[in-house]
C-alpha cells in the first residue's frame, strides 16, 4: 500500500505507524473553509475567472511596463491635485485625528510648525482639534509618503510622470536620518529639517533637475536589485547610482547651501526611497483604472490601520488594524514593547515587485529574515505564490535572474491565507524618539477577505 | 562488494560493468607526478611544513588585517620611490622594450607624449629605442597599474598608506572609458586624457582629499562585495560609495574644471579599481617581508609575460608566457583572434581575496562564468582549494557570509594543478582600438612550478 495524505498529517502518521509509506501534501482548506469566502472564491475562480484573469493580466502589464520619469521638485500646493493651503497629507488610509498614532501625530504637528501655522506642538494640536487643518491621505492625492511622513502645502515634492498611463505621482523629499518628522518626531530639530528641505535642499534639487532634464527612475531600481537593494528597506545602491547620475549637474548649480545639501545627500542612503515610491504610485494609479481585477493597486498604513485597494473595487479602502512589525532587529535598548505598529505608504513598493518580493536580492534584508540568503529567497517565493505575474525587468540573480513577483492577487491571499511581506522600519510608539528598528510586517488577512467579498459583489 | 575507486575512472567503470557499486574519488597524481615537483612538495609539505605553514599564517594575517588609507594625489616623480624624471612605469614583470606587446607599447608612447618628450608616436618610439626613457615595472616601485597603464614622472598617482605595515603604495588615476592609454591607445584623444587627468582632474582630487582628510579604503570594498562587486572586473558599488563619501568636499573645492571632473567621475564606474589595487599592493608589499612563505605576494602581467612572486623567495619573479583571456564576452565584431594576452597589475586583487576569489559576490561576473550564480560560486570554491585562508572581512552572502579565499599557496597550485582565476578586461592585440571584451584568465601553471622549486631550494 502506498499512501498520499492530503491535509492533516495525523492520517499519514497513522499509516506510517503501521509500517507503510505515506507522502504528505501540504494542503489546507482554502480560506479556512469560511463559507462566505469559499463562496466568493468559487465564483472568482469559477464563472468570472476569465474576466478576472484578463483584468489581472492588464493590471500586471501596467505595473510591469510603466516607466516613470522624474520631472522636478515643486511645493506641494502648486502641483498636487486637490491640495489647498490648509491641507496636510499623511500616510495610510483615511483616519480621524483622534485615532492618529503618536508618531504620525507628532509628524503632523512638525509639518504645521514648519508651515508657520503654530508656534508650538501644543498650539498645532489645538489647531487640528479646532478643524483648522485639513488632514488628507496622500494616497487620495496621487501621492505617497514613507513612514510617518506628512506633507504641508509649502513642503517640496518630487513630480513623477508615468508616460504609459498619462498620469503623475508625488512624494516628499526623503528627510534622512536622525531627529526627523518622518520618524515621528516634532522636536525643533525635526521642524528645522523640514524647513531646511523646503528652503535650501529643494531649490538645489530643482536647479539640478532643471539641468539634467527628466530622469527615468526605474533603471536605477533595475540595477539596484543587482547590487543588494530590495529597493524598500535598502536603497543604498539605487541612491548612489542616482546621485552619480546627478553629480555633473549638482556641482554646477551654484545655489546657496550646496555644501549642506551635498552633506545631506552623502549621509542619506534612503534618498532614493521616496523616488521609488513615487514611481510605484504612478504605475499603481495607472493600473487602478482596470475594472474587474483582483490585483492590489493600493496598500498603505497609518500606524493605526492597514488598508488595501483593488483595481476591481474602485476607490474603496479595506482596512484592518495595523499589524506589529515582526522578524525585527532593534536598535540597542529597544524592543517590540515600545514599537509602533506598521506605518507608511512605502508598501506600495511591494505591489510592483520590490521590497518583500525582492527580498532574495538583498543580503541586508536577509539579516531580518533568518540570516541566510535561503531565508530571503523563501520570502520571495512566498510572495510568488500570491502574485499574478513576474517582473520582466526586476531580476533576481539568486533565482537565475527570474523576475520578482508582481501583482498581489487578493484571491490567492485569501485562498492560501498568505499575506504580503513588507520590509519596513519601526518607530517608537509613544516617546517621539524616532526609529527604533526595522523588520518585516505581515499584512493583516482581514482586509483581503473584505476586499474579496466586495469584488465578488461587484462582479455579480 | 563495495568499491571506492581513486583516480582513473576506468577501474570504476569495469567494476560497474559487472553490476557492482563503485564510488569515484576525483583524485589526480599531484603535480602530474613530475619527479622534481613531487620531491619539492614532499619537502614543503613534510620536513619544513611547520615553518611554511607558520609563515603562511603570518602572510595571510597581514593580507587580512592591513587597513590602507588614501592620503592624496601627487605627481609620481615626487612620491614614488626610485622614480626619476625619465622613468615610465609599466604593468607586469620586467620586460625588454622589443618584447612589449602592442597595447603596452602604445600606452608607453602616450605617456611619453603626455610628458612632452616627443611630438609624435614615432618620435616617442625612437626615444625609447635610443635608451632615453627608463622603463620600469611599477611593481618595483611600490606601485600597481591596471591593464596597459603606464605612468610618467608628471602623471598623478594616488598615495596609499598601510599603517599595519608602515609602508606606502601608489597607483595612477583610473583613466575611464573610451579612447585611453590604459586600453592600449596612443591617439591624440588618449594623450589628451592623460594631460587632462594631470592638469585638471588631479588638482580637483587633491583639493577634495585635502578637505576629507585620509580615507580608509577597504570599508568601501567590504560593502561593495555585498552590492554585486567582485572589486576587480566590477567596482560599480565601491566607486559609488566612495564618490558619495567625497561628495561634500567635492562640491566645495572651487577648483577650475570641477564640472568636467564631475562628468568624468559620473561616467567612470571603474574609478575605484585603481584605489583597490593600491590598497592591495600596500598589504601584499607588507606581507612580502615574511620569509619562508609559499603564499603569493605578487602577480602581474605585461601582455607578454605573466609573473608571480612568493613571500618566501624575495624579489624574484617567476614568469611564463601571458595566457589568453578565456571565458570571455566580446564587444560586437571582436573575438579571441584579435585579443591581446592577459595584461595588467590588477591581478594583485586576486591575492587579497577580491576578483576571482570574490566571483560569488557578483551577478555581473557570473555572466562571464556560465551565467548563473552557481557558476560564480564554483569559481570562488576553486580559489578556496588553492588558498591558505579566508578573509575575516570580505564576506560572501551566497556562502552564508563566509569570507573570500585569501592567500594563494603555490604548494596547492602545483599539487592540484589548479591556478588562480583572474577577472579582467581584454585589449585589441594590434590595432590600438582599445578594449574589445572582458573575461576570466587562468594563471599559467609553469611560473608556479618554478616558484615552488625555488622556494624548496631556499628552505633546504
- Mind listing the pLDDT tens digit for each residue in B142-176? 999 999 999 999 999 999 999 999 999 999 999 99
Positive or negative, the CA dihedral B179, B181, B184, B190 is positive
Q: What is the CATH number of domain B32-63+288-459?
A: 3.90.1700.10
CB pairs under 8 A between A and B: 91
Contacts of A372 in chain B (CB under 8 A): 400
Contacts of A265 in chain B (CB under 8 A): 244, 247
At A13, the pLDDT band (50, 70, 90 cuts) reads confident
Contacts of B228 in chain A (CB under 8 A): 226-228, 237, 397
The closest CB to that of B397, out of A259, A363, A400, belongs to A363
Q: How far is CA B269 from CA A235, B4, B240, B438, in A?
A: 18, 51, 8, 15
Q: What is the CATH number of domain A68-278?
A: 3.90.1710.10
The pTM of this model reads 0.94
Shortest Cα distance, chain A CAs vs residue B246, angstroms: 8
* Domain residue ranges of chain B, discontinuous segments joined by +: 2-29, 32-63+288-459, 67-278
Interatomic CA distance for residues A245 and B3, integer angstroms: 62
CATH architecture observed for domain B67-278: Alpha-Beta Complex (3.90)
- Whether the pLDDT of residue A9 is over 90: the answer is no
Residues 6+ apart with CB under 8 A from A380: A356, A357, A358, A359, A360, A396, A399, A404, A405
Q: What is the mean pLDDT of chain A?
A: 95
Instruction: Judge whether A387 and A357 are in contact, CB under 8 Å.
Output: yes
For A105-162, write each residue's pLDDT tens digit.
Answer: 999 999 999 999 999 999 999 999 999 999 999 999 999 999 999 999 999 999 999 9
DSSP 8-state symbol, B444: P
The closest CB to that of A237, out of B227, B243, B247, belongs to B227
Long-range CB contact pairs, B177-181, < 8 A, 24+: B177/B267, B177/B268, B177/B270, B178/B434, B179/B434, B180/B434, B181/B106, B181/B107, B181/B110, B181/B111, B181/B148, B181/B149, B181/B150
Shortest Cα distance, chain A CAs vs residue B88, angstroms: 33
At A1, the pLDDT band (50, 70, 90 cuts) reads low
Pairwise CB contact (< 8 Å): A262 & B241: no
pLDDT the model gives residue B254:
80
Interatomic CA distance for residues A310 and A297, integer angstroms: 5
Mutation target for A interface from B266, B365, B402: give the one with most A CBs within 10 A.
B266
The B residues from 227 to 286 touching A (CB cutoff 8 Å) are 227-228, 236-237, 239-241, 243-245, 247-248, 250-252, 258-259, 262-263, 265-266
Answer whether A385 touches B (CB < 8 Å).
no
Instruction: Judge whether A443 and A299 are in contact, CB under 8 Å.
Output: yes
Q: Give the residue on A whose Cα is nearest the Cα of B245.
A: A266
Interatomic CA distance for residues A450 and A336, integer angstroms: 28
Residues 6+ apart with CB under 8 A from A411: A41, A44, A45, A52, A294, A452
Interatomic CA distance for residues A425 and A343, integer angstroms: 8
CATH architecture observed for domain A32-63+290-459: Alpha-Beta Complex (3.90)
Of A59-68, B259-268, B429-438, the poorest mean pLDDT is in B429-438
Q: What is the mean pLDDT of chain B?
A: 95
Instruction: Judge whether A165 and A286 are in contact, CB under 8 Å.
Output: yes
Mean pLDDT of B77-92: 97
For cell 598617482, name the residue: B157
Interatomic CA distance for residues B376 and B396, integer angstroms: 11
Listed residue (A331, A333, A359) closest to A425, CA to CA: A331
Pairwise CB contact (< 8 Å): B244 & A266: yes
For A296-347, write each residue's pLDDT tens digit.
Answer: 999 999 999 999 999 999 999 999 999 999 888 999 999 999 999 999 999 9
Of A265-269, A419-423, A444-448, the poorest mean pLDDT is in A419-423
How far, in whole angstroms, is CA B267 from its chain's centroid?
A: 23
For B193-251, write each residue's pLDDT tens digit.
Answer: 999 999 999 999 999 999 999 999 999 999 999 999 999 999 999 999 999 999 999 99
DSSP states along A346-403: TTHHHHTT-SGGGGGG-HHHHTTTTSSHHHHHHHHHHHHHTEEEEEEEEEEGGGTTEE
Q: What is the per-residue burial (b if ≥16 Cβ within 10 Å, else e) of A392-418?
A: ebbbbbbbeebbbbbbbbbbbbbbebb
Listed residue (A147, A50, A160) closest to A101, CA to CA: A147
Amino acid at each position: 500500500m502506498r499512501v498520499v495524505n492530503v491535509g492533516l498529517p495525523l492520517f499519514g502518521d497513522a499509516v506510517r505507524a503501521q509500517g507503510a509509506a505515506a507522502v504528505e501534501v501540504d494542503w489546507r482548506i482554502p480560506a479556512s473553509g469560511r463559507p462566505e469566502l469559499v463562496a466568493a472564491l468559487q465564483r472568482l475562480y469559477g464563472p468570472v475567472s476569465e474576466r478576472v484573469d484578463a483584468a489581472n493580466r492588464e493590471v500586471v502589464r501596467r505595473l510591469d511596463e510603466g516607466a516613470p520619469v522624474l520631472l522636478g521638485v515643486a511645493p506641494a500646493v502648486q502641483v498636487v491635485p486637490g491640495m489647498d493651503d490648509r491641507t496636510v497629507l499623511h500616510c495610510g488610509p483615511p483616519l480621524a485625528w483622534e485615532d492618529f498614532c503618536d508618531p504620525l501625530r507628532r509628524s503632523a504637528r512638525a509639518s504645521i510648525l514648519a508651515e508657520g501655522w503654530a508656534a508650538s506642538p501644543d498650539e498645532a494640536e489645538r489647531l487640528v482639534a479646532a478643524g483648522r487643518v485639513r488632514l488628507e491621505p496622500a494616497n487620495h492625492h496621487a501621492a505617497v509618503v514613507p513612514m510617518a511622513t506628512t506633507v504641508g502645502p509649502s513642503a517640496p515634492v518630487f513630480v513623477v510622470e508615468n508616460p504609459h498611463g498619462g498620469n503623475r505621482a508625488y512624494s516628499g523629499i526623503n528627510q534622512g536620518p536622525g531627529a526627523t518628522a518622518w520618524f515621528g518626531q516634532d522636536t525643533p530639530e525635526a521642524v528645522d529639517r523640514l524647513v531646511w528641505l523646503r528652503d535650501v535642499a529643494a531649490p538645489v534639487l530643482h536647479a539640478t533637475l532643471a539641468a539634467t532634464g527628466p530622469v527615468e527612475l526605474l533603471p536605477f531600481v533595475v540595477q539596484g536589485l543587482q547590487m543588494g537593494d530590495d529597493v524598500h528597506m535598502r536603497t543604498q545602491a539605487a541612491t548612489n547610482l542616482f546621485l552619480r547620475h546627478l553629480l555633473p549637474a549638482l556641482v554646477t548649480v551654484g545655489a546657496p547651501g550646496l555644501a549642506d545639501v551635498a552633506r545631506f545627500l552623502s549621509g542619506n542612503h534612503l534618498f532614493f526611497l521616496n523616488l521609488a515610491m513615487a514611481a510605484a504610485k504612478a504605475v499603481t494609479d495607472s493600473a487602478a483604472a482596470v475594472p474587474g481585477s483582483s490585483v492590489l493597486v493600493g496598500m498603505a498604513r497609518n500606524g493605526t490601520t492597514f488598508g488595501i485597494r483593488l483595481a476591481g473595487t474602485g476607490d474603496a479602502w479595506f482596512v484592518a488594524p495595523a499589524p506589529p512589525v515582526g522578524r525585527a532587529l532593534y536598535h540597542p535598548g529597544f524592543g517590540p514593547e515600545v514599537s509602533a505598529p506598521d506605518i507608511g505608504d512605502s508598501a506600495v513598493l511591494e505591489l510592483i515587485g520590490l521590497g518583500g518580493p525582492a527580498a532574495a536580492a538583498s543580503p541586508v534584508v536577509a539579516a531580518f529574515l533568518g540570516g541566510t540568503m535561503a531565508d530571503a529567497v523563501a520570502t520571495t517565493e512566498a510572495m510568488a505564490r500570491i502574485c499574478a505575474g513576474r517582473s520582466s525587468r526586476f531580476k533576481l540573480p539568486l533565482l537565475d535572474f527570474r523576475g520578482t513577483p508582481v501583482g498581489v492577487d487578493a484571491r490567492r491571499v485569501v485562498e492560501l491565507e498568505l499575506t504580503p511581506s513588507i520590509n519596513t522600519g519601526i518607530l517608537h510608539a509613544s516617546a517621539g524618539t524616532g526609529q527604533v528598528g526595522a523588520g518585516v510586517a505581515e499584512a493583516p488577512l482581514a482586509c483581503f477577505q473584505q476586499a474579496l467579498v466586495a469584488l465578488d459583489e461587484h462582479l455579480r
